[in-house]
A and B are shown apart, each in its own frame.
Chain A
């Protein structure tokens, strides 16, 4: 089995992209000091909204737009609840994750009269960049991907630079770093936190859209299957710094893609399913050993 062939690179990118968008959402939240574990539910809602949107508008990009807007709206619960009303973001997120799981299953039955999965004939998936097919190296990697795949990297770099190099980005980081200090300099802390969470919702919507209209063209109940949690772990791994996210997410993408390959040659699916979680945990532990050394004194 050749790991370094280009089709494998393509598979890694495909697996990593939804996680990248969701992890970026988590990283922005982390930068304003909100521990956002609502990614899983938001991504699931985004996937459902994308498929429903594509079905009703007849256009895959219509689906992406519906996913983006409705997931941002869904994130308002977390945004207002945690930033304005000072409620515990963890409890809200546990609630909205359950809500997304229940609501998507409920609406699947009520709107489309199916249970389990929904892929009507003629459901429009996102177009692939087939025009790249003849370009060497880039072709085999990107020709089978949607525009959202390269866009993920562009957005991450843009957000990373925005945080680093603009006054607004600096204020946003200040909100997470030291909310009282930021407030005393006239920064509206709750407002930054709220908008960061809502933008994160929009990003999770895109993550769901890529998952349901890009990776496949179907919505299945609970189709995110833990990707949102992997994204949360990725955010922890990079300590909320967006520019490092591609590294972490491509690692998870590689674990997933490798799992598929191993399944192809007969490895049991149950064990390859567990691989991303196990690898995430091991990497978290390894990167935290320094933390452990510094903490040993105080505990």
Chain B
């Protein structure tokens, strides 16, 4: 770009330029672009994009369906936390599945085996899940700092191990005897998440997840640890030079991320149908929907609940899109992927912007 001397711009153009620099432009643009690309894919398949998208919205925002939609939103928010906390310091946690399943297993075991009244048993089961999954998530930190195995790799290698072990335990050790499906027996009444009024899907677990999001927001914006996370995320060497103990920070971030995923697993198991079923925690794809939501929010705590709405609508509406518009529900995965790719490529826009502002 040639460096022409700055001449006074017309007001409208200046306003437009300011508007384009708003932080919401990039994520919104990514979503719009992804939806357009999705529409092209649907049309190329000989189907009607408008009917498909309408079905997605109807299926997920139908008032009778909202109870279920909100419960899914909670799970996606929880898994978004599991991705966002390490993302804040520039690390990727791709092991959400393993952490979630371990949490589910722990909660189910506690609920089935500890004879306590519900008022104590429910918090104990959730806490136990958080501790076990948190410990499992934190394993990746020493692997990175002591052995130089990147967190993204170790979480990915550890996750299928946990999933396989839980699946094995369900089928051969603690599963319900005589059942064709590998699953635990139904949890006793004391071990079930407390209901919220007469809602059948959303329960107290949703409040737990909202509390976790608030806690992440407060820690991120108001505490020294949150500041350290962001400094290390912005520039690791600078953070270390400034006295941040990066290894310890990674340990804490991965423990918190694992705990968040574990709590999601616990809540799913302690909600209807009140058992841990082999594969049931993983198959809805909350982990990657959460990761996508966290990336779209740029890890910023205040934005996660918003970006999670989008992926909740895609997730819940995907099924009804398949039923009424005959568009395969895998389109939800396609759109998630496209959103992430478009987001990653936004650097093009950033470069143009810096060029323009420096010109």
Using a CB–CB distance below 8 Å, which chain A residues touch chain B? 37, 77, 81, 85-88, 90-92, 94-103, 105-106, 108-110, 115, 226, 229, 232-233, 236, 268, 270-271, 273-274, 277-278, 280-281, 284-285, 288-289, 291-292, 295, 299
- Please indicate the chain A residues that have their CB under 8 angstroms from the CB of B47 in the complex: 110
Name the residue on B nearest A235 (C-beta).
Answer: B153
Q: A91-B344, A268-B171, A284-B147 are in contact. Are A102 and B337 (CB under 8 A)?
A: yes
Q: Tell me the smallest distance from the CB of A265 to a CB of chain B, in Å.
A: 16
How far is A108 from B156 in the complex, measured between Cα atoms in Å? 26
Partner of A98, one of B41, B171, B333: B333
Q: Tell me the smallest distance from the CB of A235 to a CB of chain B, in Å.
A: 10
Q: A98-B333, A102-B331, A229-B156 are in contact. Are A270 and B149 (CB under 8 A)?
A: no
Partner of A87, one of B45, B149, B347: B347
- Please indicate the chain A residues that have their CB under 8 angstroms from the CB of B336 in the complex: 98, 102
Contact between B332 and A102, CB atoms less than 8 A apart: yes
Name the residue on A nearest B169 (C-beta).
Answer: A270
Instruction: Enumerate the 6 nearest inter-chain pairs by beta-carbon distance, A residue then B residue, closest first.
Output: A102-B333, A99-B337, A95-B340, A105-B330, A98-B337, A274-B164
**Interface membership of B172, Cβ < 8 A:** yes
Since A91-B344, A102-B334, A291-B147 are in contact, a sample of 17 more A-B pairs with Cβ atoms closer than 8 Å, ordered by chain A residue number, is A81-B341, A85-B348, A87-B347, A94-B340, A96-B341, A102-B331, A102-B337, A103-B330, A105-B333, A115-B328, A268-B171, A271-B165, A278-B161, A280-B157, A281-B158, A288-B147, A288-B148
Q: A87-B345, A291-B148 are in contact. Are A106 and B334 (CB under 8 A)?
A: yes
Name the residue on B nearest A228 (C-beta).
Answer: B156
- Please indicate the chain A residues that have their CB under 8 angstroms from the CB of B339 in the complex: 95
Contact between A274 and B161, CB atoms less than 8 A apart: yes
**Interface membership of B288, Cβ < 8 A:** yes
**Interface membership of B320, Cβ < 8 A:** no
How far is A90 from B94 in the complex, measured between Cα atoms in Å? 11
How far is A82 from B287 in the complex, measured between Cα atoms in Å? 25
Q: A91-B295, A95-B340, A284-B147 are in contact. Are A274 and B160 (CB under 8 A)?
A: yes
- Please indicate the chain B residues that have their CB under 8 angstroms from the CB of A86 in the complex: 347, 351
- Please indicate the chain B residues that have their CB under 8 angstroms from the CB of A99 in the complex: 333-334, 337-338, 341
Q: A102-B336, A268-B171, A270-B171 are in contact. Are A77 and B341 (CB under 8 A)?
A: yes
Within 8 A of A (CB), among B325-359: 328, 330-348, 351
Contact between B340 and A109, CB atoms less than 8 A apart: no
Number of interface residues of B (CB under 8 A): 53
Interface SS of chain A: helix
How far is A16 from B172 in the complex, measured between Cα atoms in Å? 30
**Interface membership of B143, Cβ < 8 A:** yes
Name the residue on A nearest B170 (C-beta).
Answer: A270
Contact between A98 and B288, CB atoms less than 8 A apart: yes
How far is A281 from B98 in the complex, measured between Cα atoms in Å? 15
Q: A236-B153, A284-B147, A292-B146 are in contact. Are A92 and B341 (CB under 8 A)?
A: yes
Q: Tell me the smallest distance from the CB of B273 to a CB of chain A, in Å.
A: 22
**Interface membership of B69, Cβ < 8 A:** no
Name the residue on A nearest B172 (C-beta).
Answer: A268
Q: Tell me the smallest distance from the CB of A213 to a CB of chain B, in Å.
A: 22
- Please indicate the chain B residues that have their CB under 8 angstroms from the CB of A94 in the complex: 92, 94, 291, 295, 340
Name the residue on A nearest B349 (C-beta).
Answer: A85
Q: Tell me the smallest distance from the CB of B155 to a CB of chain A, in Å.
A: 11
Within 8 A of A (CB), among B273-332: 288, 291-292, 295, 328, 330-332
Contact between A95 and B143, CB atoms less than 8 A apart: no
- Please indicate the chain A residues that have their CB under 8 angstroms from the CB of B328 in the complex: 105-106, 108-110, 115
Contact between B45 and A95, CB atoms less than 8 A apart: no
Q: Tell me the smallest distance from the CB of A108 to a CB of chain B, in Å.
A: 8
Q: Tell me the smallest distance from the CB of A287 to a CB of chain B, in Å.
A: 9
- Please indicate the chain B residues that have their CB under 8 angstroms from the CB of A101 in the complex: 330, 333, 337
- Please indicate the chain A residues that have their CB under 8 angstroms from the CB of B92 in the complex: 90, 94
Pairs A–B under 8 Å by Cβ, sample size 21: A81-B341, A87-B345, A87-B348, A92-B345, A102-B331, A106-B330, A106-B334, A110-B45, A115-B328, A233-B153, A268-B168, A270-B165, A271-B164, A271-B165, A274-B164, A277-B161, A284-B147, A284-B153, A285-B147, A292-B148, A299-B145
Q: A98-B336, A109-B328 are in contact. Are A81 and B345 (CB under 8 A)?
A: yes
How far is A291 from B332 in the complex, measured between Cα atoms in Å? 42
Q: Tell me the smallest distance from the CB of B290 to a CB of chain A, in Å.
A: 12
**Interface membership of B181, Cβ < 8 A:** no
